[in-house]
């Protein structure tokens, strides 16, 4: 149990998926302009991450049992792509309001390295099913935290006078650097809380 | 792409004019993640270049066979196969690199540069041109990674090309005669200086990338070229949905299904976005 909490805190704060592991930088920079799109995108990422982890776990076991580990990358990306398509169809048919809220973000997620990244990490670290799910949840929540925080930073930044050559992407990256720096302050929190 | 093409031009455009990292802003995740040392940057760049050239060749050779509707899944499978091959080769011959790159080696699959070149170039051009385009883009990617790696490693760790022997282990155990990169730390501590560790931390990655991007913009502006914007999505097959997303979040703009509309509408959508951006800037 302690280990699970540690995994969650790690994904959320100390080893934040976006700010210290650099997964999913494209949506982090591209979709964080407005708060509502940032929240929508991260919610969709959390859902897909959890489903992808649940779906790939038994598949990975099957691959290992048949000595087919080398197919992991190919199989995982196809499973994620198919899963995203299916989620989209199901949401569209049965949960129209949710589809309206999350639907547009779903196709983007197929080629998002955060989802494939978390699945591959779970395999590399040899987590069991519960640990893998908690790790994915932590990663997804960490993604959401980074997105929401950064949306706020960018909103403030819009009112700032920025030198011409820094305008646009460069200043966004420098701001991301400062947000990432602030997350350094959490290092040691796991040891401090006695979780490991 | 209608104008006259020459092989040299296709090769050199990826190096500077359309540098995938600093001008097109593609593949940002590996750029930030693996550039803590030049050695890792070279390893990542070479691995991605091999995948890029091979997948460009395969996709361009198969471009008339792959049905338009399922082209994206087909490209992903082709790319994933080459990534798996490269991953196995790296594991077998350069194990240190496999450890250093971690999950980012298999994650070459979702690197926008590769899918982007498949969609934008290899699916429309002959095998030879696609191979040259892939090589140019790959070398451009490697150069940008090395540039970032150099800044970060020298400032952050006080070394340069540290661990290069691990990368060259393929050619023999002692190919550089025991030399394993420069180390400035002794010289630095002699004058009471320490490397700025921040630069090899994640925050330093964002910072160096931002400053390099600003420099690239400055140089481009001097030549009357537009700024690098995050139009990464425009080169990505999912462009339709992404653009809609940034506009007003309408739900009818999905483009991940491989329909032709996405392709045709891509250009005017980019135009729309740019005008929107200019409007916002004013």
* Residues of chain A neighbouring B88 (CB-CB closer than 8 A): 70
Tens-place pLDDT, residues B151-193? 999 999 888 888 888 888 777 777 777 777 788 888 888 888 8
125-164 in chain A: CB under 8 A from chain B: none
Mean pLDDT confidence for B253-265: 36
* Residues of chain B neighbouring A77 (CB-CB closer than 8 A): 76, 80, 109-110
- Yes or no, beta carbons of A26 and B28 under 8 Å apart: yes
- Yes or no, beta carbons of B241 and A108 under 8 Å apart: yes
Q: Output the pLDDT for position B242.
A: 44
Query: Nearest chain B Cα to A30, which residue?
Result: B230
Query: Nearest chain A Cα to B236, which residue?
Result: A111
Q: What is the helix (H) or strand (E) element at residue B183, kind and residue range? A: strand B182-183
- Yes or no, beta carbons of A99 and B253 under 8 Å apart: no
Measuring CA to CA, which residue among A162, A196, A147, A178 is closest to residue A10?
A196
pLDDT band at B230 (very low <50, low <70, confident <90, very high): low
Considering only CB atoms, B83 lies closest to which of A73, A170, A177, namely: A73
**Could you give the ipTM of this predicted complex?**
0.88
Contact B262, B239 (CB under 8 A): yes
Is A193 within a domain? Answer: no
For chain B, the domains span 7-224, 226-282
The larger pLDDT score, comparing residue A62 to residue B246, is at A62
Query: Nearest chain A Cα to B34, which residue?
Result: A22
Highest mean pLDDT among A69-73, A167-171, B121-125, B143-147: B143-147
User: Is the CB of A50 inside 8 Å of chain B's CB atoms?
Assistant: no
Q: Output the pLDDT for position A196.
A: 65
Mean pLDDT confidence for A43-69: 91
Domain that holds residue A95: 7-187
Q: Given a cut of 90, is residue B280 above it in pLDDT?
A: no
The residues with which B160 forms a beta bridge, in sequence order, are B182
How far is A25 from B29, CA to CA, in rounded Å?
Answer: 6
The two counts, helices (H) then strands (E), for chain A are: 10, 0
User: How many CB contacts within 8 angstroms connect chain A with chain B?
Assistant: 165
The residues with which B64 forms a beta bridge, in sequence order, are none
- Yes or no, beta carbons of A171 and B221 under 8 Å apart: no
- Yes or no, beta carbons of B246 and A30 under 8 Å apart: yes
Is A156 within a domain? Answer: yes
Domain count, chain A: 1
Is A195 within a domain? Answer: no
How far is B273 from B109, CA to CA, in rounded Å?
Answer: 27
Buried b (16+ CB within 10 A) or exposed e, A111-124: bbbbbbbbbbbbbe
Q: Given a cut of 70, is residue B106 above it in pLDDT?
A: yes
Mean pLDDT confidence for B19-31: 85
Considering only CB atoms, A77 lies closest to which of B29, B76, B257, namely: B76
* Most B CBs within 10 Å, among A26, A103, A124, to test the B interface: A26
């Amino acid at each position: 149990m302690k280990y699970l909490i540690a995994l969650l805190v790690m994904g959320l704060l100390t080893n934040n998926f976006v700010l210290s592991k650099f997964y999913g930088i494209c949506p982090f920079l591209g979709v964080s302009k407005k708060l509502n799109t940032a929240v929508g995108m991260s919610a969709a990422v959390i859902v897909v991450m959890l489903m992808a982890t649940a779906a790939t776990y038994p598949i990975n076991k099957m691959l290992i049992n048949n000595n087919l580990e080398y197919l992991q990358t190919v199989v995982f990306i196809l499973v994620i792509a198919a899963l995203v398509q299916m989620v989209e169809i199901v949401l569209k048919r049965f949960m129209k309001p949710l589809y309206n809220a999350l639907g547009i973000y779903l196709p983007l997620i197929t080629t998002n390295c955060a989802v494939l990244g978390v699945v591959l990490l779970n395999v590399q670290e040899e987590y069991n099913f519960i640990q893998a799910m908690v790790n994915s949840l932590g990663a997804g929540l960490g993604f959401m935290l980074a997105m929401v925080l950064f949306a706020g930073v960018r909103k403030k930044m819009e009112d700032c006078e920025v030198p011409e050559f820094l305008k646009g992407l460069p200043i966004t990256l420098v701001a991301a650097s400062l947000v990432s720096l602030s997350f350094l302050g959490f290092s040691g929190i796991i040891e401090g809380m006695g979780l490991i | 792409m209608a104008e006259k093409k020459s092989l040299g031009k296709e090769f050199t455009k990826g190096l500077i004019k359309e540098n995938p990292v600093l001008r097109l802003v593609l593949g940002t995740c590996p750029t930030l993640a693996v550039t803590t040392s030049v050695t890792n940057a070279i390893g990542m760049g070479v691995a991605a270049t091999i995948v890029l050239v091979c997948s460009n060749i395969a996709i361009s050779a198969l471009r008339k066979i792959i049905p338009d509707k399922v082209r994206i899944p087909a490209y992903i499978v082709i790319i994933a196969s080459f990534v798996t091959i490269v991953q196995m080769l790296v594991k077998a011959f350069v194990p240190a690199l496999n450890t250093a790159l971690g999950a980012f080696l298999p994650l070459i699959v979702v690197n926008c540069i590769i899918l982007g070149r498949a969609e934008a170039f290899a699916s429309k051009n002959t095998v030879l041109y696609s191979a040259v385009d892939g090589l140019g883009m790959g070398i451009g990617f490697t150069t940008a990674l090395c540039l970032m790696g150099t800044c970060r490693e020298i400032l952050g760790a006080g070394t340069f090309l540290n661990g290069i022997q691990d990368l060259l282990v393929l050619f023999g155990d002692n190919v550089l005669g025991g030399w394993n990169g420069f180390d400035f730390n002794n010289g630095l501590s002699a004058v009471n200086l320490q490397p700025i560790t921040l630069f090899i931390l994640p925050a330093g990655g964002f910072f160096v990338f931002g400053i390099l991007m600003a420099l690239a913009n400055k140089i481009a502006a001097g030549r009357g070229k537009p700024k690098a914007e995050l139009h990464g999505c425009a080169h990505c097959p999912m462009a339709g949905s992404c653009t809609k997303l940034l506009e007003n979040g309408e739900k009818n703009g999905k483009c991940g299904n491989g329909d032709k509309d996405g392709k045709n509408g891509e250009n005017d959508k980019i135009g729309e976005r740019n005008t929107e951006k200019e409007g916002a800037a004013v």
